[in-house]
Amino acid sequence: MIQTSSVFKLIAILFFLSVFLFSGCTDKSKDTLIISSEETEPVSTLDAVPVANLEERTFSKLRTTFQGPLLDENLKTLQTLANSDIYLEFLSRVSKRVKPFQTFDEFLDTTPPDAEKKIRPIFKQRLPHLIINDQDIASFYEMATIEQSRVILINLRVHPAPPHLIEAETRARKNAPLFRWFPPKEIEPHIRQAFWKVFVKFVVDANEIARKKIQDTLHEHGQDDGLIWLAIQEPRILGVILNTFIDPLTPAYFLRWIDPEGQEN
């Protein structure tokens, strides 16, 4: 079992966070959202009670269309499932969108997760001088998304980071309004450190929540059925998986992450 409080992990995360801290500017970009929580309880994007029948029907359609294996090279089948008409229609219905989503990324970018309500208190408590806007929330999520993947790869001893994460990190550094968050003459260093400490906890907790949810779902339903149920019930966890375990990583890395004791190093 991965120890989320280990010194190695926190040092590694803080190293990458330091890049963000000194490289931000005030450019704007589209929102990029993730599932996360500063608590240890999972937060589902979907309300399971009113959409239970829809979930069952969607599972049947996806299972018939994508018969597996879903953990193939570069997760191509899982990527295709995430952008299939069946799945995107399901996401549109449960999110009450009038127009269907065109891509899975569009869902992630435009549909706020429940965790948003947990982000605002972080700013309010740690950076009370700010009036928080949507860009602040979006930037927090964008950085946290990248750090979730970074931490996973650090735990798996994958170095250096894959090109797609480096590109995402560069965009986040450019677009995060860090100078607005931390005016050099107004915010003392210890306040910055306190904010990043909470950010680190947010990221580490989010990864452990996701990993535990994946373990439980695959244990209950099996690998292929479990991944489909995960996509239906926790689409943002699916987003983390697809953002992390792509070329040049193989599905074996994903299995090592969710079950480090059961997989060979």
* For the chain, domain boundaries: 7-23+48-258
- Rounded to whole angstroms, the Cα distance separating 203 from 145 reads 8
Band of pLDDT at residue 220, cut at 50, 70 and 90: very high
**Residue 197: is its pLDDT beyond 90?**
yes
d(CA 117, CA 62): 32
pLDDT, one tens digit per residue, over 61-116 is 999 999 879 999 889 999 999 999 999 999 999 887 777 789 998 888 777 777 77
**What pLDDT does residue 263 have?**
60
- Does the predicted TM-score (pTM) go above 0.85? no
Residue 43 in contact with residue 115, Cβ under 8 Å? yes
Amino acid at site 97: R
- 246 confidence band (pLDDT: 50, 70, 90): confident
Taking only the tens place, the pLDDT of each residue in 13-64 is 544 454 444 444 334 333 333 333 333 344 444 444 456 799 999 999 999 9
Query: Judging by beta carbons within 10 Å of its beta carbon (0-12, 13-18, 19+), is residue 62 exposed, middle or buried?
Result: buried
* pLDDT at position 264: 54
